[in-house]
Structures are given as structure tokens and as C-alpha cells.
Amino acid sequence: MSGGTAPERGAARVLALRTTAPDNIVPQQSAFDEYYREMFRDVPQAAEIFQGSGVSTRHMAWDPRTAYADGFPLIKPRMQAWQEHFLAMSRRNVADVLDATGTREDSDRIGSFVLASCTGYSGPTPDILLAEEFGLRKDLRRTFIGHMGCNAAFNVLKTGIDAVAARPHELVLAGSAEVCSVHLRPEYTKEQAVVNALFGDAGAMLLLGADDGGPGPVILGTHTETHPDTSHAMSWHIEDTAFRMALSPYVPFYLAEAIGPFVKELLSSYGMEAGDIEHWGIHPGGPKIIDFVGEKLSLSPEQLAPSRAILAEYGNCSSSTILLILERILRDSRPQPGEHAVIMAFGPGLTMESALVRF
């Protein structure tokens, strides 16, 4: 395709994108010195893991230095905290996208609301509470996507794209929020040191509309692959004290092996190759994932910079991370009209998700 402004069938235009995170910022080194060093005292590599994580700061609703000072809470207070902070972040983001687009006084145009989170559950689900708070219409189509992991924002986007394609006269609110910090648990292993060195909290929200040929970004299409032969490499289960993540050190190797054909499959139907893409967003499951994927796709340091910057400033915020990266590309890379981006994320399954974006 040429990168012009002609609308693509089924494409969705991003009318606004806003992100937020808890106000509490936790410096990585201070958190390690004041809390994690003692927690992982029997893990010889703990200091190296935290220092090599690519994370400098994280936004954390539950600061480990204070929230876990007296032990590990059970599930109930964790889920209460998840709901409180999920709603706080999403409330701020919904207000911002409505105000940015002048939609607050014309909210009947919003026909669908899609949210995702894998770090908590409650009913009524947060979309119901937020829809009532913002006076959204009673026949609003609502979807809450739970427990799909770091790739869940793409399920939000795909649901939103389908809604726009089916009802192009309506708008779609689509977002996610994750409160990973409420899931620190008493397990003192190298694997859990890696997990606790990476994850932070954040939320994001988009307002989507049909592509009318206006300015981008426009989500042209998506591609998904699941590789069940590697399903053991990443998992996310509810246990008695908290949710537990398992994360194999081989995940970057699995992704590096699969990434070339995966990206080719996304781009081939648009007559494009990886070398035609100016901007890239790679979910930073860890620094090695950025390194390995970047090397396999021959990406430049500038193309990897947005992913590295979000990892450094926020950590891995699960499903919200890729939307933070997209916002960073828009803010710092300043894409020119007609340029393209590929954004991608990876989750349990092992699932690979991607989208092609035209600016």
C-alpha cells in the first residue's frame, strides 16, 4: 500500500490516546536496597537481576517498602486495592480522551466500551461503574477482557476495530489498566526475583472511530499467533495469597525464532516488509526481548528507543505497556503522515500479537 489517506475497509482511527499511572514512583535501586535485597537474600543473582532489568523507576500503587512491611495480605485486600486503582487510572483516562475530543457532551456517540485487566476481578465489572459515572448510554455494548496477560491490549483493539467496522457511525472507548504491584508473594526464587524486578502499574485509554481519511494514527490490521508448544514458558495463576507468574528465561529465544515469519505474515497482505516500517513498539517483557527481537528484525537503536524508555520509566505494566509505547512514539518520534509503525506484545500461550499502524 502507498501510505495515502484513502480509508481502509475495517480500519479504525485513534481519535485520542491517554495514559496514566499511580503517582507513587519507586526508584529501582532504592526498592532493592530497602526491601528486595532482604527478600531475595538467598538468591545470589538478585542484585544483578534488578540492576540488569532495564528498569530505573516504576509507578506502584503498593510500594513494596511499605505495603508489605508487615507481611503478605490475602486475596481480598489485594482485589480491593486493584479495583480502587484500576478505577482511578481509568477514570482519569476516560475523562482525558473525552475532553480531548470534545465528546463529553456528546457521549451518546459512544456505542461500545472495551476494557482489559489481568491483575484483578470484581463484579460489577469496572466498565459498568465507569459507564454510569460518565453518563454513557444504557444500551452501551460492554466487554471486559480478563486474564489474557501482557498481550490483552490487542484483544481490546481487535474488539474495538470490529465494533467500528460493524457500526462506523459510533465511537468506541477501549483501554486497559493493570495493578501488578498488589501481587508480591512469599516465594524466594530466581524466577520470582526476575518477575519482581520488572512489573509496574499503569493504565491507558483510546477513543476509536471509523477511518474517514483524516489524520492518523489508523490501525490498519492485526495479526495473532499462538504457539502452544511453548505454553509452559509463561503462565499466570490465582493462588491462595496472590496471583503467581511463571516466566521462563527461554522466552526471548522462542520469540526471536518466531518473530521474522510473524512480522512477515502481518505485513505481506499490505505489500510491505519489515524494512518499510519506520517505527516499532516491542512489548518489553524484559530487556532481552527488546534486544533479541530488535536484532532479528535489524532495527536501529532509534527504533528501539520508545520500548526501552517505557521499560526504564515504568517497567513492564502488562497489557497497558504497548499503549504507553505507542503514546511515546507519537510524542517523541513524531511520525510523519504516511509513515507506519508495527506494535507487538507477547503473553501466555505463548501468544504473539501485533498491529500495523499508519500515521
The catalytic residues are 150
Distance (Å, whole) CA 70 – CA 80: 18
CA proximity to 49, closest of 178, 195, 183, 158: 195
3-state per-residue secondary structure call for 104-155 = HHHHHHEEEEEEEECCCCCCCCHHHHHHHHCCCCCCCEEEEEECCHHHHHHH
Kindly state the helix (H) or strand (E) to which residue 245 belongs, with its residue range.
strand 243-247
* Cβ(294)–Cβ(304) below 8 Å: yes
Distance (Å, whole) CA 147 – CA 351: 13
- Of the CA atoms within 13 Å of residue 98, those in its CB half-sphere come to 21
DSSP state of 71: -
* Cβ(212)–Cβ(6) below 8 Å: no
* Cβ(224)–Cβ(352) below 8 Å: yes
Distance (Å, whole) CA 179 – CA 200: 7
Q: What is the DSSP string of 160-207?
A: HHHHHHH-TTSEEEEEEEEEGGGG--S--SHHHHHHHHHB-EEEEEEE
